[in-house]
């Protein structure tokens, strides 16, 4: 449920969808099924209340489209009145001989109180109401709607061209242009529907007269011939009931017809009718003074009602004085504003386009306190600390994360974008903590299932007071700001290679030149262009290899780039030089390395199929089965408590790394293993495990 500009909007509810069909079916059922008098009183009262609501809504609508459902409302209310007339006619003809209250208290009160129990006066009043409704209001409103629909349709092409011109000139954006086009179409449909709906009101007025005659003639005939009533007594009873029934139906009809006339006669203005009426009719004191003078002169003429004329003259003069004094105060306290001439917008240039944020974090309004340092938010501090730790680990400085609120998101929702593209989205609730499962936890806690956005480990959301209990159970306890910061870290870790541009490579070269003068210049541009160095660094970071040891990287490139320009071969040479660091990170400094190996059959088949073209010539069957076989081997390796690392021949490392990267399987070559480390193949990837 949402509120906007004072209008309550209900969501898509099954009961809401059924309300319309059920209402129409009930209205039609009233024409067939007999109703008790109490229910008839309730429905007549509801009809009057509904008419008043429609009138008030039409008075407060800023423009006709604010009440675009009015043609349908007009049809439904007309159908309801006719159904009530049918139901009341049935009761009047069946029970009218029992008294004037036989058709309910509402009809009786309209027949007795409003017309003083005089059915002749009631008939005259009913005819006058029908004439006013049918001849004046309904016909005028229908004519206005017809003309407005015709002019709206004729003006549609010009309005469409004006919208296109504003869009091309930059006055409006594409979203606003679509909205304006939709409003033009809706406006034409609205006036066309109002022109047709006014025909229902005319038919209702004619039906009211016919029903009045039927009730009067039929009631008198039933009273005389079936209930042995005298002509005078039958006329008094049935005529009074008929007049009351006609008035109780025609008064709401007159109110709704007035509302229709107000809606179609309004011009498009965001100001409601009450303010427009007061400001335009009583906003000029000179006119009020003239009207007061005329009334005062008429009041002193002999024979005229002096009190009425002079009283109204005094009221108008007082109102003119108040309006004039208020206008003088406004002139005194409000400075004069110079007329501002709107200049056409300047032509759009490349400099006017805002740069795309490399990394951005957008959050709903409830998460703003977590992002604002002035309100004690820790998200920015956590993100900065994570970036510093990542830079020390990988040798790559992640650009600052742009943080801003976004009202289009859910209140507790955040999203992370990379170069304008959404890469992650989550939802956190302040006051709750995320308990992440660890290998050392003791027992599980019940809560809303989730996962750690950085490691993918299973987790549960708990209330803040359960943080100590979760910590004692061995869970990793994360607050909402830490969850957001870890999600941001997960995004830039997964896409770190995309964050290495020419500017970042140039900064790395400048830092290397300060410690090893001449080494950077020897590699680029003498041996390799800057883009080739950038590609090699991207290849390393994409597989989680730190580029912090820039000296070793460029020493290797300086030694190998003169012999080959193949970037894949150069990347593998650099990896071999960094092998100790790569191995130490994957095995956490262990002396004995337990790895996954390839069975001789698969290894020989891969070497035979790849040849000199690499993985491009691997058969589709093997490409499809390798990830499945690797996943099975990784599961067995993890069950034994060893890291998931595949060790292969140098010629197979890079192709297999590209194929198995989505499995999360690290692939090493024999050339990357330090000589002082012992190897043990604890799991094999074999084709037999496929079954």
SS3 per residue for 262-313: HHHHCCCCCCCHHHHHHHHHCCCHHHHHHHHHHHHHHHCCCCCCHHHHHHHH
Q: Where are the alpha helices (DSSP H) in 433-564?
A: 467-472, 480-494, 502-515, 519-523, 530-542, 550-560
pLDDT at position 428 is 92
Residues 667, 657: Cα–Cα separation, whole Å: 6
- Give the integer Cα–Cα distance in Å for 74 and 80: 10
Question: CB count, 10 Å around CB of 560?
Answer: 19
pTM of the model: 0.51
Say if residue 688's pLDDT is above 70: no
Q: State pLDDT tens for residues 640-649.
A: 889 999 999 8
Distance CA 419, CA 99 (A): 82
pLDDT attached to residue 5: 40
Element (H, E) at 9: strand 7-9
pLDDT of residue 296: 81
First to last CA, the chain: 53
Task: Kindly report, residue by residue over 416-425, the tens digit of the pLDDT.
Answer: 999 889 999 9
Other C-beta atoms lying within 10 Å of the C-beta of residue 169: 12
SS3 content of the chain, % helix, strand, coil (to 5): 65, 10, 25
Q: Identify the CA nearest to 687 among candidates 610, 599, 595, 605.
A: 599
DSSP, collapsed to helix, strand or coil, labels residue 403 as: strand
Relative to beta strand 592-598, strand 678-685 is parallel
pLDDT at position 556, please?
Answer: 93
CB within 8 A of 553, min separation 6: which ones? 536, 537, 540, 547, 574, 577, 578
Pairwise CA distance, residues 227 & 231, whole Å: 11
201's tokens: 């009101």
Mean pLDDT of 425-446: 89
- State how far the Cα of 406 lies from the Cα of 361, in Å rounded to an integer: 9
Alpha helices by DSSP H, 544-599: 550-560, 567-577, 579-587
What was the pLDDT predicted at 608? 81
Which of 69-73, 455-459, 674-678 has the weakest average pLDDT?
Answer: 69-73
Q: Flag whether pLDDT at 338 surpasses 60.
A: no
Phi then psi dihedrals of residue 475, to 5 deg: -75, 150
User: Residues with Cβ < 8 Å from 323, sequence gap 6 or more?
Assistant: 282, 283, 284, 285, 288
**Under 8 Å between Cβ of 431 and 464:** yes
């Amino acid at each position: 449920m949402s509120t906007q500009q004072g209008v309550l909007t209900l969501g898509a509810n099954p009961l809401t969808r059924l309300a319309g069909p059920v209402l129409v079916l009930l209205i039609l059922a009233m024409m067939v099924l007999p109703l008790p008098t109490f229910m008839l009183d309730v429905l007549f009262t509801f009809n009057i209340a509904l008419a008043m609501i429609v009138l008030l809504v039409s008075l407060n609508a800023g423009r006709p489209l604010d009440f675009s459902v009015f043609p349908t409302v007009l049809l439904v209310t007309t159908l309801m009145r006719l159904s009530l007339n049918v139901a009341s006619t049935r009761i009047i003809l069946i029970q009218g001989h029992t008294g004037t209250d036989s058709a309910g208290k509402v009809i009786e009160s309209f027949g007795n109180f409003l017309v003083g129990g005089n059915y002749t006066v009631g008939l005259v009043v009913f005819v006058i109401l029908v004439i006013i409704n049918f001849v004046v209001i309904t016909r005028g409103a229908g004519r206005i709607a017809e003309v407005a629909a015709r002019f709206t349709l004729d003006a549609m092409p010009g309005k469409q061209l004006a919208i296109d011109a504003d869009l091309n000139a930059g006055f409006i954006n594409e979203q606003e242009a679509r909205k304006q086009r939709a409003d033009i179409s809706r406006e034409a449909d609205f006036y066309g529907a109002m022109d047709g709906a006014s025909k229902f009101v005319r038919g209702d007025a004619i039906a009211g007269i016919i029903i009045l005659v039927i009730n009067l003639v039929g009631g008198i005939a039933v009273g005389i011939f079936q209930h042995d009533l005298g002509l005078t007594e039958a006329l008094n009873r049935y005529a009074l009931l008929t007049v009351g029934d006609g008035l109780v139906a025609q008064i709401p009809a007159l109110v709704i017809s007035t509302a229709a006339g107000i809606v179609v006669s309004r011009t498009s203005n965001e100001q409601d009718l009450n303010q427009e009426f007061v400001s335009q009719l009583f906003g000029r004191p000179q006119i009020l003074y003239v009207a007061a003078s005329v009334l005062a002169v008429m009041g002193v003429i002999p024979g005229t009602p002096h009190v009425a004329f002079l009283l109204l003259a005094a009221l108008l003069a007082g109102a003119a004085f108040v309006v004039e004094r208020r206008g003088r105060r406004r002139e005194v306290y409000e400075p004069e504003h110079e007329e501002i001439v709107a200049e056409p917008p300047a032509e759009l240039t490349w400099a006017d386009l805002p740069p795309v944020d490399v990394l951005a974090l957008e959050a709903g309004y409830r998460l703003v306190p977590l992002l604002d340092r002035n309100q004690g938010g820790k998200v920015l501090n956590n993100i900065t600390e994570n970036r510093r730790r990542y830079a020390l680990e990988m040798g790559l400085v992640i650009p600052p994360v742009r943080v801003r609120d976004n009202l289009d998101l859910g209140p507790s929702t955040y999203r992370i974008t990379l170069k304008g593209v959404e890469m992650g989205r989550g939802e956190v609730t302040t006051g709750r903590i995320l308990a992440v499962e660890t290998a050392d936890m003791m027992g599980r806690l019940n809560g809303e299932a989730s996962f750690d956005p950085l490691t993918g480990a299973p987790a549960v959301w708990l209330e803040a007071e359960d943080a100590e209990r979760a910590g004692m159970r061995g869970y990793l306890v994360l607050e909402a700001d830490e969850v957001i910061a870890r999600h941001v870290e997960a995004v830039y870790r997964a896409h770190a290679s995309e964050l290495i541009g020419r500017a970042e490579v140039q900064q790395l070269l400048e830092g290397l030149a300060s410690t090893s003068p001449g080494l950077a210049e020897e590699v680029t541009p003498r041996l390799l262009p800057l883009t080739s160095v950038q590609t090699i660094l991207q290849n390393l970071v994409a597989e989680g290899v730190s580029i912090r040891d820039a000296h070793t990287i460029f020493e290797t490139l300086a030694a190998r780039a003169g012999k080959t320009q193949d970037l894949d071969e150069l990347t593998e040479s650099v990896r071999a030089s960094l092998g100790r660091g790569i191995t130490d990170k994957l095995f956490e400094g262990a002396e004995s390395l337990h790895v996954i190996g390839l069975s001789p059959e698969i290894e020989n088949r891969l070497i035979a199929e790849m040849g000199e073209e690499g993985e491009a010539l691997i058969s589709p069957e093997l490409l499809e089965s390798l990830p499945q076989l690797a996943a099975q081997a990784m599961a067995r390796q993890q069950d034994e408590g060893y890291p998931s690392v595949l060790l292969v021949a140098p010629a197979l490392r890079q192709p297999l790394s590209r194929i198995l990267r989505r499995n999360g399987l690290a692939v090493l070559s024999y050339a990357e293993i330090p000589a002082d480390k012992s190897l043990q193949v604890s799991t094999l990837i074999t084709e037999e495990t496929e079954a």
